[in-house]
Chains A and B, each alone.
Chain A
Amino acid sequence: MTHPKVRKQHFKTVKEIVKRANGKVVCSACIMGLGQFLYRQWAKGILYLLIQIAAICFFVFVGAEAIAGFFTLGTIESNAWYGIEGDNSVIMMLMGILAFIVLAIYLYFYYANIKDAYAMQCAVEQGKKPRTLKDEMRSMLDDKFYKTALFVPIIGVCIFNVLPIVFMILIAFTNYGPDVKPPVLIDWKGFESFIKVLTLGQFAPTFFKILLWNIVWAVLSTALNYFCGLGIALLYNKKCVRGKAFWRMFPILAYAVPGFITLLGFKFMFSYGGPINQMIVEAGGKAIGFLDLDAKWSARGIGLVVNCWLNIPSSMLLATGILSNMNRDLYEAAKIDGASAFKQFTAITLPFVVFATTPILISQFIANFNNFGIFYFLRGGGLIADGYFLASDTDLLINWLYNLSISNDYYSIGAAISIIIFLFTSAVSLAVYVLSPSYRQEDTYQ
């Protein structure tokens, strides 16, 4: 987002241009580069003119049709039996988005062209020479180097990030689903998918039940991983612990094994034929369905524990690194003041560690909120709990999203849920970060 000061400056410039533009600047507003030609800046003029010609060619040959296609999403259905090539709504939507991105880039250059012409007007009025292309190039390698350096990444971001994200968002406003997918033509349906998610008879209760469990899961798993990791790091940091490197090896080993292998291992361990049940049966007990249909809370509990197994090592490593930077004098001073070990932890260690790790904590919260693998691998999918629509009682929103969009092709509904997840997680992250000491007391530990 543009900083308010910068935005104000832009607005001032535009207002000033509108008010003070001379005929040559007006020419540039009419045809890109014309003002530059009139100021005898041939190279810049040609460059801007070429941009305008390229843009017109793009819109004549591709862009205009792509933008029209974006609104219609196709008018002719293909029929492969007779070799009739029709429209592909998905491709048309993508091409439409691309055309809008090109349009936005064109408008940026158009604005730059006017601003440049106006800068020449100002320079001439002040009796200076207008900046040549060479001057501009030099500036691009010097004080405006950030623009040069960011130009290619921004194009990449537009194509590889913005385009898919905008595409996914737009899918939520269509009827893209199991019966409506290419070669069948897709239509725009406004907020229909959102209304279905939030109001539809069986659908809405499932959504809210899963959302509630998802929040509980994200908070619990993040807190457990974080504090257990910190606890182990503190323990390994104690002078009395011998062979620290040896003990540290175990969490690292758990960390090194690919997550899904660990999850499949745990699934086997807790299955009816797994070693845990074998031991229970051999001891005279009855096999327990730790992860089966009735196992709502035991499955959730196992999920939390297994998630700890997978994530505590990284929290531990993080905390170990931060603890090594602690000022030991603070503890000495606290001891002299008679602070107990717990008081030292809550007043010195915890604030320091939390301050340094809040952004990581937020990213862990988001990762846990969207933790797809844990219950997908532990329970193997394939269960529908009573009162749930295409979901089990351990599914998180991301698992439900997968069931709906990948397993059942409800793409528009899936996209609507993704947007809701995004809104929720971004609001929480932003609120937590803004309220955290990392943001509010940025200078405390500097």
Chain B
Amino acid sequence: MNKFITAFSVHMAVILALIVSIGTVATLSKTQGEGAEKFTGELERNVTIRILENDTAIKQGYLKELLDAFNEAYAEYGIVAEDANMDQYSDLENDGPYGKGPDVLYQPNDQLMRYVPDRHILPLPVEELDCYEAVGQAAWDAYYTKVGANEYYFGVPVNVQGPLLYYRKDLLPENWQEEWDENDNEIPDMVESWNKLYEFSLERRQGNEKFGYMRSFLEPYFSVGYLYSYGGYSFGNNNTDPTDIGYSAGEAEKGGWVIRQLASAMNEWCIDDTITVNAYSKLGDGSYFATMTTPDVYTMFIDEMMKNGMTRAEAEENLVTAPIPMLPKSGDLTEEDPELIPSKMMGGVNGYAISSYTKAPNACLAFVDFATNYEMIKRRNELLGIAPARADVAQEIGGLSEVIQNNLEEGNIVIMPSIRENAQMWTPLQTLFTDLAKDPFRDADEMKYDSLDKIKAALERVDQQVYDAIHTLK
């Protein structure tokens, strides 16, 4: 063989052999390390832990109070908790493995539980915590999951999120106590029953100027509850089985019928997000009587009412928050004296979780324990107006906190699914709700959902779409 080719071949063979042999050795010599339990009960000393809180807690000064109190209590161990100074929606999945994430996170249950399959957050020994007995089982369930044969809790509930009805007391008819309080309980009928609210909305409607209840149906978070109320569900087996999609289950079509009827008492603005955008100003100027939204936007309504000439005291007096009204069992909002059933609405439980990448798990657990004790949760409520997950605090505060707590325990707040597949449910639902809300505004011959059977078929299509979105490409 030519000398040059021999030399070239030898050179290449050496390089190739080097790469192959070292590569093979490196691959084969890899062994799985032995893991160790992280919660030993022994506090790490002289460590700094980074806490991710929500923006409101930071703005209202609650986080500072919490950190100061904790740092003082644990000064003897040299443990310092500090603001992680990150976006409240930051994704541990992207940051954690590279050492950039926070040690303790405060996020909604669906967000936190997305981290579980890839083990980005730690299973917690929750029974050791001060709040364990005080938090109801329904709230704990939001953070419960089974991994193999083992059962774990991955978060510690802090507050319950659920929609409320906001209405203007000063816009009630003057004679409401005579005409709109059939059960004489001093609560207007239109905020107790959807049938009455529908009736009042039709009565109050004046073209595009005045309305009763107004809410865009575009957002599944606020609309899917109508399906839940009549037997629909997101995922089977307590929202844990992504192979069982149940938006059409039970008599969920009645929920769709309710949406269609409510839309007919509004205008086309309920089809897109127009009402979501203008609800604050329109409730503020008295164009809308009522809307449904979460408790955390209370001050935005107050601000708008003040812009329309009310003093703060007047605005606070006239803006009333109430539990979601009861639904007719028949699904017919025009029925006289209907049998009423409770409205189920989608909600969530915000809580603390601990990153798997923390260097100080025991110090983090101590922080979570401290932040969820009676005093801190009460203080959180005072500053932020949250509905506490701790039943003892909710009971002491009373009012809506207690109502929300009871709704959760009674299953009327359906916790947002905590499995990763829930990301696939929003778009198909949003599409259907948009279409349902549009139906009353279509010409008679173009209506798509003028019977319960047609709504049922549409819901079954949504089930299939969600199923396909989850499973088709797997």
Residues of A at under 8 Å CB distance from B?
A: 17-19, 21, 23, 25-27, 29-31, 55-56, 59-60, 63-65, 67-69, 72, 75-76, 78-88, 110, 177-179, 181-184, 196, 200-203, 271-274, 277, 281, 286-287, 289, 291-294, 380-385, 389-390, 407-408, 410, 413
Beyond A18-B2, A19-B2, A81-B38, 17 extra complex contacts between A and B, CB < 8 Å: A63-B19, A64-B19, A65-B22, A75-B30, A76-B31, A81-B35, A86-B32, A201-B472, A203-B472, A272-B267, A273-B269, A287-B441, A289-B268, A289-B438, A382-B431, A383-B431, A413-B473
Task: List 4 tightest A-B contacts by C-beta distance, closest first.
Answer: A82-B35, A68-B23, A273-B274, A80-B356
Q: Is the beta-carbon distance between A23 and B274 smaller than 8 angstroms?
A: no
Q: Which of B18, B24, B268, B465 contacts A384 (CB 8 A)?
A: B465
In the assembled complex, the Cα of A179 lies from the Cα of B426 at a distance in Å of 19
For residue B428, which residue of chain A has the nearest CB? A384
Asked whether B267 lies within 8 Å of A29 as measured between CB atoms, the reply is no
> Could you list some 22 contacts between A and B, CB below 8 A?
A17-B4, A18-B2, A21-B4, A25-B4, A29-B7, A30-B7, A55-B15, A64-B23, A65-B26, A82-B38, A178-B474, A179-B117, A179-B474, A181-B118, A183-B97, A272-B271, A273-B272, A273-B275, A294-B438, A384-B427, A385-B431, A413-B473
CA of A87 to CA of B473 in the docked complex: distance in angstroms?
A: 25
Name which of B65-73, B119-127, B156-164 contacts chain A: B119-127
Task: Return the chain B residue nearest A175 by Cβ.
Answer: B474
Cα A294 to Cα B431 with chains together (Å): 11
Most buried by B among A183, A274, A384: A384
Q: Is B300 an interface residue (CB 8 A)?
A: no
Is B148 engaged at the interface, CB distance under 8 Å to the other chain?
no
Which residues from chain B contact A202 at a C-beta distance below 8 Å? 468, 472
Chain A residue numbers with a CB within 8 Å of B123 are 81
B420 contacts A178, CB within 8 Å?
Answer: yes
A25 cross-chain contacts in B, Cβ below 8 A:
4
A65 vs B30: C-alpha distance when bound (angstroms): 11
Q: How many A-B Cβ pairs are below 8 Å?
A: 177
In the complex with contacts A26-B4, A292-B434, A65-B356 CB distance below 8 A: no
When distances are taken between beta carbons in the complex, the residues of chain B under 8 Å from A289 are 268, 271-272, 438
**A18 x B4 contact (CB < 8 A):** yes
Inter-chain contact A408/B119, CB cutoff 8 Å: no
Interface size, chain B (Cβ < 8 Å): 68
Flag if B27 contacts A68 (CB, 8 Å). Answer: yes
The answer to whether B97 and A383 have CB atoms under 8 Å apart is no
Q: Taking the complex as formed, is B181 at the interface, i.e. its CB lies under 8 A from any CB of chain A?
A: no
Contact A383 B434 (CB under 8 A): yes
B residues in contact with A273, CB < 8 Å? 269, 272, 274-275, 277-278
Residue B297 CB within 8 A of the other chain:
no
Provide the bound-state CA to CA distance between A445 and B35, in Å: 74
B5 at the A interface (CB under 8 A): yes
Whole-angstrom CA separation of A29 from B5 in the bound complex: 9
Q: B441–A183 contact, CB under 8 A? A: no
Contacts of A203 in B (CB 8 A): 472-473
Report B244-271 residues with CB < 8 Å from chain A CB: 267-269, 271
A379's closest neighbor in chain B, by CB?
B272
* Residues of A close to B18: CB separation below 8 A: 56, 59-60, 64
Known contacts: A18-B4, A68-B26. The answer to whether A81 contacts B119 by CB under 8 A is yes
**Cα(A381)–Cα(B427), bound, Å:** 8
Residue from the list A23, A183, A277, A389 in contact with B119, Cβ < 8 A: A183
Nearest-neighbour CB distance to chain A for B13, whole angstroms, equals 11
Shortest distance between the CB of A407 and any CB in chain B (Å): 7
Min CB distance A100 to B, Å, is 11
Nearest-neighbour CB distance to chain A for B202, whole angstroms, equals: 19
B282 to chain A, nearest CB (A): 10
Indicate whether B312 reaches chain A with its CB closer than 8 angstroms. Answer: no
Measured between C-beta atoms, what is the minimum distance from B342 to chain A in Å? 29
CB A334 to nearest CB in B, in angstroms, measures: 53
Q: How far is the CB of B443 from chain A (nearest CB, A)?
A: 9
CB-nearest residue of chain B to A29: B7
B469 on the interface (CB 8 Å rule)?
A: yes
CA A79 – CA B147 in complex, angstroms?
A: 13
| Pair A200/B472 contact, Cβ less than 8 Å | yes
Q: Across the interface, which residues of A come within 8 angstroms of B33, CB to CB?
A: 83-85
Complex Cα–Cα for A88 and B428 (A): 33
B60 contacts chain A at the CB level, 8 A cutoff: no
Contact A75 B274 (CB under 8 A): no
B59 CB within 8 Å of chain A: no
Indicate the member of B4, B27, B122, B357 with the most A CB atoms within 10 Å.
B4
* A78 nearest CB across to chain B (Å): 8
Q: Are A389 and B472 neighbours in the complex by a CB distance under 8 Å?
A: yes
Judged by a CB distance under 8 angstroms, whether B454 is at the interface is no
The answer, yes or no, to whether B36 is at the interface (CB within 8 Å) is yes
Tell me which residues across on chain A come within 8 A of B273, comparing CB atoms.
271, 380
In the complex, what residues of B have CB within 8 A of residue A56's CB? 15, 18
In this complex, what residue of A is CB-closest to B37? A82
| Contact A64-B277, Cβ < 8 Å, known A81-B122, A272-B272, A384-B428 | no
B122 surroundings in chain A (CB, below 8 A): 81
Q: In this complex, what residue of B is CB-closest to A380?
A: B273
- How far apart are A328's CB and chain B's nearest CB, in angstroms? 53
**A281–chain B nearest beta-carbon distance, Å:** 6
Q: Given A30-B10, A81-B38, A273-B278, check contact A177 B473 (CB 8 Å).
A: yes
Q: Would B27 and A65 count as touching, CB distance under 8 A? A: yes
Which residue of chain B lies nearest to A277 when distances are taken between CB atoms in the complex? B268
For A110, give its contact among B11, B31, B35, B267 (CB under 8 Å).
B11
Chain A residue with the shortest CB-CB distance to B152: A81
Residues of A with C-beta under 8 A to B30 = 75-76, 87
Contacts of B24 in A (CB 8 A): 68
B residues 24-74 in Cβ contact with A at 8 Å? 24, 26-27, 30-38
Closest to B27 in A: A68
Q: How far is the CA of A178 from the CA of B122 in the complex (A)?
A: 21
Scan B437-474; emit 1 where CB is below 8 A from any A CB, else 0.
01001000000000000000000000001001100111
Q: How far is the CA of A10 from the CA of B292 in the complex (A)?
A: 75
Q: Which residue of chain B has its CB nearest to the CB of A268?
A: B277
Which A residue's beta carbon lies closest to that of B9? A29
User: Contact at B35–A83, with CB atoms within 8 Å?
Assistant: yes
Which B residues touch A83, using CB under 8 A? 33, 35-36, 38
With contacts A64-B26, A67-B19 taken as known, whether A384 is within 8 angstroms of B431 at the C-beta atoms is yes
- CB-CB < 8 A to B356: which residues of A? 80-81
Q: How far is the CA of A69 from the CA of B5 in the complex (A)?
A: 31
Q: How far is the CA of A383 from the CA of B434 in the complex (A)?
A: 9
- Partner among B10, B117, B119 whose Cβ is within 8 Å of the Cβ of A79: B119
Is B435 on the interface with A (CB-CB < 8 A)?
yes
User: Which B residues from 275 to 310 make CB contacts under 8 A with A?
Assistant: 275, 277-278
A-chain residues with CB within 8 Å of residue B428 when the two chains form the complex: 384
In the complex, chain A residues whose CB is within 8 Å of the CB of B441: 286-287
Contact assessment for B272 and A292 in the assembled complex, using a CB-CB cutoff below 8 Å: yes
CB neighbours (8 Å) of A274 from chain B are: 274
Does B146 count as interface, using CB distance less than 8 angstroms?
no
- Is the pair A408, B19 in contact by a Cβ cutoff of 8 Å? no
Known interface pairs A81-B356, A183-B119, A408-B469. Does A72 touch B27 (Cβ–Cβ under 8 Å)?
Answer: yes
| B-side contacts of A72, CB under 8 Å | 27
The reply to whether A18 and B5 contact each other, CB–CB distance below 8 Å, is: yes
